[in-house]
Amino acid sequence: MSLIRLARKPVNALDIELLTALIDMVDRELNRKCRALVITGEGPCFCAGIDTKLAAGYDGFQQRAMVTALNQFLYQLYTAAVPTVAAINGHSLAGGLVIPLACDQRVAATGDYSLGLTEVRAGVPYPAIALHIVQAELDPATARTLCLTGRTLSPQGALDNRIVDELCDPEGLVQRAVELADGLAELPAYGRVKEQLRGRAGQLMRTVLDQNTDPMLDGWLN
């Protein structure tokens, strides 16, 4: 089992460098035949999404690189043959909530923090693979409400709306996520059944990456 911690102070916001490091790390762990992946955050946030202040200054080449890297990382998580579990330790907003949605199971710590798809408030349209995942993993009414209002939820609200699968005391969060991941990894047909469940969506995502068809590659933040 491999544990990945998002650690980019102060709120673990995503930039090209962090996403590139995450892609390399997941590739390395999958290539060495890890049994499962657990991803969590460091500090009071799981992930606050895209670093919008930094991204606003990106030129066209950098914006394309950012969109491509985010799509690639989400694709890795969503289609990995091994179990993937998100241990949501704090604020999980915009792209920082799409990451847990790309995982097979989501465990959230109890506490006073927010989860939401706040792209509409931040002025950040969805890259294609992020949107595929939102539509695949949330029921239509929940996706519509969260995407079009930017509304945020408490951990209990996220559980009630089936955005997360269970709540856990913060002290035992990572341990619980590891237990879940280890248990799923024991299932002999896990990878094959996951491919059956997500294979069609994965093929669509792979086409986006291979053919560079994401509309956000040109004019993402313009």
Over residues 68-104, the pLDDT tens digits come to 999 999 999 999 999 999 999 999 999 999 999 999 9
pTM of this structure: 0.96
Residue 156 located in a structural domain:
yes
Q: Tell me the average pLDDT across 128-148.
A: 96
Over residues 146-155, the pLDDT tens digits come to 999 999 999 9
pLDDT at 222: 67
Provide the pLDDT confidence category of residue 219 given band limits of 50, 70 and 90.
confident
Residue 27 located in a structural domain:
yes
Strand partners, 84: 37
Within a 10 A sphere around the Cβ of 2, how many other Cβ atoms? 17
Tokens (6 digits) for 76: 């890795």
How many domains is the chain partitioned into structurally?
A: 1
* Residue 193: domain span: 2-217
With a cut of 80, say whether residue 163 has pLDDT above it: yes
Residue 210 located in a structural domain:
yes
Determine contact, residues 115/153, Cβ cutoff 8 Å: yes
Residue 78 located in a structural domain:
yes
CATH number, domain with residue 74: 3.90.226.10
Residue 26 located in a structural domain:
yes
Residue 49 located in a structural domain:
yes
Residue 129 located in a structural domain:
yes
- The percentage of the chain sitting over the pLDDT mark of 90, rounded to a whole number, equals 96
Residue 222 located in a structural domain:
no
